[in-house]
Amino acid sequence: MATKRDGVFVWITWLAKVMAGEQNCEWASWFKAHHENYDKAPSDFDTVKWNIEHTRHLRRLRLERRKLGERVFLQGENAIRLTLPSGVVVAGKPDLITLPDGQPTAPSDGQPTTLWIGQPTIHDVKTGRERCSDRIQVMLYMHLVPQALPAYAGTRPAGCVVYNGSKVDILPEAVDQKFIEAFEYFLGVIAGLEPAWKVPSCHECRFCDIARTECPERIEG
């Protein structure tokens, strides 16, 4: 059975699906934000196949950007774990961040933070069909990376969602005040003390990994 987290933890992919309206059952993300070690439902999703395909596409993108002379930083180097003033932790891992070729500049205050020349671009590789949540996920990275990673402090990243054979570019201006307000609103839904709406359905429950022992309303089959 699930145990309550010491604090509220929100993974960016959970938030993106709620913001896009692709996950009507907001309770599922609320539950995971407040609990860990929960019982998981069996799944027929082929994780091994997905990981291999994703890794292949990501490697291809990395080589492509390096041939263009860009500096490339991969998932582990891009991990975000930002504690907001409210105490809520927001986390994610952009697939790839690129920077135009150039030399790092030394900070004026002598601190170890590295300031980079040029505008970063945050790329995320998707192996399925295009979804609105894909763009929102990258826009959340664009908003949070400069706050979470000192190397990008003060920058306004661009974004790019990369599919198999196509891509969607996102301008820095897309992360405007209206988007930031939406981020804060939906984060409040998931991170709030009161449970969010529970909307069990065949479609929602099929793609949810929370077992019936944790959610008795779960629809099986």
pLDDT in tens, the chain (221 residues): 899 999 999 999 999 999 999 999 999 999 999 999 999 998 888 889 989 999 999 999 999 999 999 999 998 899 999 999 999 999 999 999 999 976 454 444 444 444 445 799 999 999 989 999 999 999 999 999 999 999 999 999 999 999 988 999 999 999 999 999 999 999 999 999 999 999 999 989 998 999 999 999 999 87
Q: What pLDDT shows up at residue 107?
A: 45
Residue 46's pLDDT is 84
Question: What's the CA gap between 98 and 115, in Å, rounded?
Answer: 14
DSSP-assigned letters across all residues of the chain: --EE-SS-EEEHHHHHHHHHTS---HHHHHHHHHEES--B------HHHHHHHHHHHHHHHHHHHHHTT-EEEEGGGG-EEEE-TTS-EEEE--SEEEE-S-PPBPPTT--SPPB-SS--EEEEE--S---HHHHHHHHHHHHHHHHH-GGGTT---EEEEEETTEEEEE-GGGS-HHHHHHHHHHHHHHHSSS-------HHHHHT--B-TTT-TTPPP-
In the chain, what are the domains?
3-206 (3.90.320)
pLDDT at 101: 78
What's the pLDDT score for residue 45? 80
CA distance 2 to 32: 9
Asked whether the beta carbons of 30 and 189 are under 8 A apart, the reply is yes
The C-alpha angle with vertex 16 and arms to 94 and 186, in degrees rounded to 5, equals 130
Closest among 59, 122, 69 to 100, alpha carbons compared: 69
